[in-house]
A and B are shown apart, each in its own frame.
Chain A
Amino acid sequence: MPTAIATRWIEACAADEIDEEDVIRFDEGDRTFAIYRSPDDTYFATDGLCTHEKVHLADGLVMDNIIECPKHNGRFDYTTGKAKGAPVCVDLKTYPVRVEGGKVLIGLD
């Protein structure tokens, strides 16, 4: 039987801090995350660094459900973390997100 892992919810930013179809960086301790607001006003969170060469994705470009890395134009689907082809080959880790009282919370293991 799988062991349940407790989710720790952390406040990342105010919901209106992110423009629609954009991304911002959020650091927690020594970890860094990218928080996205999609064109249909839904929020998502992934690891903050590109799996290719560890560049901050928050400097990249959000297009629909895609985040493009600013260094080599590698693309991920930020809603699933799926790498969309070379030069990114490894998927991004995603995190659950909820919005409460105008704040964006991300769930960490």
Chain B
Amino acid sequence: MTAQDFSADYQKRDYSLVGFETQRAIERGLATAQWYQCPIGRKELKELMRRSDGPALRDAAIWFGALALSGLGGWYFWGTWACVPFFLVYGVLYGSASDSRWHECGHRTAFKTTWMNDVVYAIACFMILREPTVWRWSHTRHHTDTIIVGRDPEIAVPRPPDILGLVLNIFALKSAWSLAKKLALHVQGKLDPEEATFIPEMERPKVFREARIMTAIFLGVALWCVAIGSILPAMFIGLPSIYGGFMTIFFGLTQHAGLDEDVLDHRLNSRTIYMNPVFRFLYLNMNYHVEHHMFPMVPYHALPRLHAAIKDDCPTPYASCWDAYKEIIPALLRQRREPGWYVKRQLPSHVAPLDVGAAGTVAAE
């Protein structure tokens, strides 16, 4: 890796969607812009985009089956230390594996059948503490304006990095607090000003309805716990998002953290990392993150093949999570001191990224 140091003339960035950076991004041609795509033939891409219910039905069966078995073990051994490993597995499947499930089903690429995507999307959103309609629109914007400051609502690590917030999110504490505040607003039929920039008027009643349903479920579980004098119901519904959410941030940070902002080339702001089969099951192949952003229509089960097709046009993938974190952790710590610093991904020598010119135009280098 190499790095760029612009600390000398770095100005504090405004990551909100209603600040001065929003207009600046539009003026610089970074909003809803044309992004670089690796060359790939239409026939090959069509084959990769082809939908099928089979792989996602298999993975959903394993997921729900493992949830049921681990949950059964947790219930059976409740009150003894033997329940801990069962709840650990249940928690990771509930609070972490749900992250990639809402994501893939949100794109409606996991299954061929639309209603299957929508059902798993709703369940997984609940598990990962995300309101379905809000996050559908938020993620739409994330794909339009990936890591464009002032436009992307899903920049996980704004600079300088909030290390305390990242640590709290190992147990989803920051995201749970964020959801609680949003739910409190949405149940009253209100949106915050940033959400109003990406959720269309006609979708807002759905947001409010979903917030009321989610709140009612959480309240119902809390009342159930009080009624029986045990937190056991919450160990199955609600709390697993907290105690089992640590793999969400473990995977999520690898996607973009420490890399460049305001570029129109996913090879420069996203990471592709080789992972073991268990991680790839939990994460549904989102370790091929450059490929996913470049061709979001390709279902998760075809991403390894897409990777093979375009890898010669991309930076060298990271060999493992360890390889990625050797870069990410020092990068985030350095960005605390030098917010203008970032990891610059090296493209193969025969290719050049799209870049944003000083005058605000987008030009090939």
Binding site for B on A (CB under 8 A): 22, 52-54, 60-61, 63, 68, 70-73, 75, 84, 86-87, 89
Contact between B137 and A53 (Cβ–Cβ < 8 Å)? no
Contacts of A63 in B (CB 8 A): 51, 112
Bound-state Cα–Cα, A71 to B142, Å = 11
Minimum CB–CB distance from B286 to chain A (whole Å) comes to: 15
Contact between B296 and A73 (Cβ–Cβ < 8 Å)? yes
Among all A-B residue pairs, the 5 with the closest Cβ atoms: A87-B140, A61-B49, A72-B140, A73-B107, A73-B108
Contacts of B109 in A (CB 8 A): 73
Bound-state Cα–Cα, A60 to B296, Å = 10
Bound-state Cα–Cα, A73 to B292, Å = 12
B84-110 to A contact mask, C-beta < 8 Å, 1/0: 000000000000000000000001110
Minimum CB–CB distance from A18 to chain B (whole Å) comes to: 11
Contact between A71 and B296 (Cβ–Cβ < 8 Å)? yes
Minimum CB–CB distance from A61 to chain B (whole Å) comes to: 5
Minimum CB–CB distance from B176 to chain A (whole Å) comes to: 25
Bound-state Cα–Cα, A75 to B114, Å = 10
Given contact pairs A72-B140, A73-B109, A75-B108, A89 touches B296 in the complex (Cβ within 8 A): no
Within 8 A of A (CB), among B258-302: 295-297
Contact between B143 and A71 (Cβ–Cβ < 8 Å)? yes
Bound-state Cα–Cα, A84 to B108, Å = 12
Contacts of B39 in A (CB 8 A): none
Closest residue to A63 on the B side, CB-wise? B51
Residue B144 is within 8 A (CB to CB) of chain A in the complex: yes
Q: Is the interface of A mostly helix, strand, loop or mixed?
A: loop
Bound-state Cα–Cα, A68 to B340, Å = 38
Q: List 19 A-B contacts (CB under 8 A).
A: A22-B46, A54-B32, A61-B51, A63-B51, A68-B108, A68-B297, A70-B296, A70-B297, A71-B143, A71-B296, A72-B140, A72-B143, A72-B144, A72-B296, A73-B296, A75-B108, A86-B133, A86-B140, A86-B203
Closest residue to B106 on the A side, CB-wise? A73
Minimum CB–CB distance from B139 to chain A (whole Å) comes to: 9
Closest residue to B295 on the A side, CB-wise? A70
Minimum CB–CB distance from B124 to chain A (whole Å) comes to: 16
Contacts of A71 in B (CB 8 A): 143-144, 296
Contact between A61 and B112 (Cβ–Cβ < 8 Å)? no
Contact between B137 and A87 (Cβ–Cβ < 8 Å)? yes
Minimum CB–CB distance from A40 to chain B (whole Å) comes to: 18
Given contact pairs A70-B297, A75-B108, A86 touches B46 in the complex (Cβ within 8 A): no
Residue B130 is within 8 A (CB to CB) of chain A in the complex: no
Residue B136 is within 8 A (CB to CB) of chain A in the complex: yes
Contacts of A75 in B (CB 8 A): 108, 114
Contacts of B296 in A (CB 8 A): 70-73
